[in-house]
Amino acid sequence: MTANHDQIKFAYWVPNVSGGLVISKIEQRTGWDIDYNRRLAQIAEQAGFDYALSQIRFTAGYGAEFQHEPVAFSHALLAATTKLKVIAALLPGPWNPAVAAKQIATISQLNEGRVAVNIVSGWFRGEFTAIGEPWLDHDERYRRSEEFIRSLRGIWTQDNFSFRGDFYRFSDYTLKPKPPQPLPEIFQGGSSRAARDMAARVSDWYFTNGNSVDEIKKQVDDIRAKARANNHSVRIGVNAFAIARDSEAEARSVLNEIIAKADPEAVNAFGLEVKNAGKASPEGQGNWAESSFEDLVQYNDGFKTNLIGTPDQIAERIIALKAVGVDLVLLGFLHFQEEVEYFGRRIIPLVRALEADALQHVQAAE
């Protein structure tokens, strides 16, 4: 593996759905409204965060009773900031690639190219049923997502774009204006075989659920080997729920309280839904195949990454992720505004210092 000398990037989950990032009745000083989120975005860019990731949800599933639409919401966050890149979630099925390509091109034009997209493939059958969208099999969802991504890229880069897929067709289509260069980055979320193979072919970024360094390494090695064979390069983002406190005991006790106050009905309903979605994949797995009840309390397995402890411990664990090839850490918090600020003040500088040390060692050895 070649060493990565770029600084690791930081993203946070935009709380554009209610209920925070854990399915727990613990107090969460996190709002889902636009005023809270505008202020949060400003704190985050000041704190050294590179990206904000919005979520797409059509109906409640695990709480999350209220859900703002992510493209409109992302645009509002861009208007409130100057440096932050905002990643708008898009769900093929409800979204059509011609509309999405045009909408994102305009947002990119209006906001110095700071918009990116996250193509998600869906795990929530009930949501599709509720809005009258056909529910495809697992790998069909990914075939559609891949056509969606190829369509976006084609529309953004070519004049007279033509495409004949099973899900989307374009004939001699020219979008004007196209988004400014560099093009909006294309992220994707999901960890199954189909997700990894899609990343190795078409995505700029692969987002995966939280996991241990060893498990993340397996995914990175697998995807990068396949991407190399396809002459494609893909960067890797990993989810984590951060609990940074001045002592490790304090951070662990917050985790214990989150789990003790979990809403069992909502966690089990969510677990059933996501495990069913993954079981429909040919390998019978998916993002949440190994997730326990405790893991599911953070709905993208964010506790597993173990960014729970003191600032020093967390900085070291981030460097360990970087050492196995991770390019970005995506973070959720209990009290977003306060903790994003704390993370920027206490942890990012430690990570930057460790990165500078590592670079010096490499240069000394050369």
Ligand X SMILES: Cc1cc2nc3c(=O)[nH]c(=O)nc-3n(C[C@H](O)[C@H](O)[C@H](O)COP(=O)(O)O)c2cc1C
For tokens 């204006």, name the residue. 177
CB of 123 to ligand X, least distance (A): 4
Q: Cβ of 104: how many Cβ atoms within 10 Å?
A: 25
Q: Which residue, 103 or 310, is less far from ligand X as judged by CB?
A: 103
Please tell me whether residue 189 binds ligand X under the rule CB under 6 A: yes
* Rg (alpha carbons) of the chain, rounded to whole number: 20
Q: What is the largest CA-CA distance in the chain?
A: 62
Q: Mask 43-62, x = binds ligand X (CB under 6 A)?
A: ------------xx------
Q: Which residue, 330 or 351, is less far from ligand X as judged by CB?
A: 330
CB of 70 to ligand X, least distance (A): 7
For tokens 């494609």, name the residue. 232
Query: Among 96-104, 245-253, 279-287, 318-326, which window interacts with ligand X (CB under 6 A)?
Result: 279-287
Produce one character per residue of 333-365: b if its CB has 16 or more CB atoms within 10 Å, e if not: bbebbebbbbbbebbbebbeebbeebeeeeeee
Site for ligand X in 107-146 (CB under 6 A): 120-124
Nearest to 209 by CA among 123, 92, 139: 123
Please tell me whether residue 337 binds ligand X under the rule CB under 6 A: no
Query: Among 78-86, 175-183, 205-213, 247-255, which window interacts with ligand X (CB under 6 A)?
Result: 205-213
Q: Which residues pair with 85 in a beta bridge?
A: 51
Cα(304)–Cα(301) distance, rounded to whole angstroms?
6
Q: Which residue, 52 or 175, is less far from ligand X as judged by CB?
A: 52
Any idea what DSSP says for residue 1? -
Query: Among 31-39, 92-100, 157-165, 184-192, which window interacts with ligand X (CB under 6 A)?
Result: 184-192
Site for ligand X in 230-259 (CB under 6 A): 239
Please tell me whether residue 190 binds ligand X under the rule CB under 6 A: yes
Per DSSP, the three-state class of 63 is coil
Cα(142)–Cα(151) distance, rounded to whole angstroms?
14
Task: Give the amino acid at 33.
Answer: D
Task: State whether the Cα torsion 240-246-247-253 is positive or negative.
Answer: negative
Cα(358)–Cα(352) distance, rounded to whole angstroms?
10
| Position closest to ligand X via CB | 189
Q: Which residue, 286 or 311, is less far from ligand X as judged by CB?
A: 286
Q: Which residue, 17 or 107, is less far from ligand X as judged by CB?
A: 17
CB of 256 to ligand X, least distance (A): 25
CB of 239 to ligand X, least distance (A): 5
For tokens 């893909």, name the residue. 234
Q: Which residues pair with 173 in a beta bridge?
A: 161
Q: Which residue, 72 or 358, is less far from ligand X as judged by CB?
A: 72
Q: Which residues pair with 86 in a beta bridge?
A: 52, 115
Spatial contact of 314 and 307, defined as CB atoms under 8 Å apart? yes
CB of 68 to ligand X, least distance (A): 12
Please tell me whether residue 151 binds ligand X under the rule CB under 6 A: no
Please tell me whether residue 195 binds ligand X under the rule CB under 6 A: yes
Site for ligand X in 290-309 (CB under 6 A): 300
For tokens 């993208």, name the residue. 300
Query: Among 206-214, 228-236, 309-317, 331-339, which window interacts with ligand X (CB under 6 A)?
Result: 206-214
Please tell me whether residue 149 binds ligand X under the rule CB under 6 A: no
Query: Among 43-51, 77-85, 190-198, 265-273, which window interacts with ligand X (CB under 6 A)?
Result: 190-198
Please tell me whether residue 87 binds ligand X under the rule CB under 6 A: no
Nearest to 356 by CA among 1, 6, 2: 6
CB of 188 to ligand X, least distance (A): 7
Residues 6+ apart with CB under 8 A from 349: none
Among 19, 271, 278, 311, indicate the residue that binds ligand X (CB under 6 A).
Answer: 278
Any idea what DSSP says for residue 243? E
Interacting residue ranges for ligand X, rule: CB under 6 A: 55-56, 89, 91, 120-124, 189-192, 195, 207-209, 239, 277-278, 281, 286-287, 300, 330
